[in-house]
Amino acid sequence: MIRDWLNALPLVAILRGIRPDEALAVGHALYDATFRVIEVPMNSPEPLESIRRLSSALGDDCLIGAGTVLRSEQVAQIAAAGGRLIVMPHADVAIITAAKRAGLYCIPGVATPTEAFAAIHAGADAIKLFPAEQITPTVLKAWRAVMPRDLAMLPVGGITPETMAPYIAAGADGFGLGSALYAPGRETDDIRRRALAFVQAWKTGTASQGTNT
């Protein structure tokens, strides 16, 4: 279950724009900071090669996959590269179905309860609340009251260490982290520092809620 990967640290590193030649250095920096879920968006340079390298080096201990998956035929390509996770900005049932048939985890993006329930019924392993700027902590709290209790709900979009606490208090089960964590050209040491800041913000936020994570 995807909870097995999220239980230790439910923070998904989104490496949009990463190149294959820097994938391993960034991946190891994130691993050292205790990240265990990494996605390479498909609109990055040579995303399948980055996924292949990350999966080869870290795949036993990390869940490596692809983000911004827009076509169902991409699922087989990602699986062939060693990816085990499909993340989407939308809730295309055809892609969810293809991912589950291939034995992969799938986290579709949703912006309404209607999309969320359709994704759940199609087999989604978790849902990505996207964009988080639109789905505020108040909205998340309302959703949490009607969504399955065991469903992981991950806000994504504009998340920083400073904005996590209100979402955690509203019931967020983790986060997807983009440009505040990784951006092309950012030094590896800076990425590691940013990763550790997110880890600390998660620990502080969950501790204040009395959550054992």
Is 128 a catalytic site residue? yes
Place of tokens 């062939």: 80
Backbone φ and ψ of 68, nearest 5°: 50, 45
Q: What's the burial of 46, exposed, middle or buried (CB within 10 Å: 0-12/13-18/19+)? A: middle
Q: Which of 46, 115, 128, 187 is catalytic?
A: 128
How does DSSP classify residue 4? H
3-state secondary structure of 127: strand
Q: Which of 22, 39, 73, 133 is catalytic?
A: 39
Q: How far apart are CA 7 and CA 182, in angstroms?
A: 22
User: What are the structure tokens assigned to 171, written together?
Assistant: 């019931």
Is 203 a catalytic site residue? no
Q: What's the burial of 212, exposed, middle or buried (CB within 10 Å: 0-12/13-18/19+)? A: exposed
Q: How far apart are CA 177 and CA 180, in angstroms?
A: 7
Say if residues 77 and 103 touch (Cβ distance below 8 Å).
Answer: no
Positions marked active-site: 39, 128
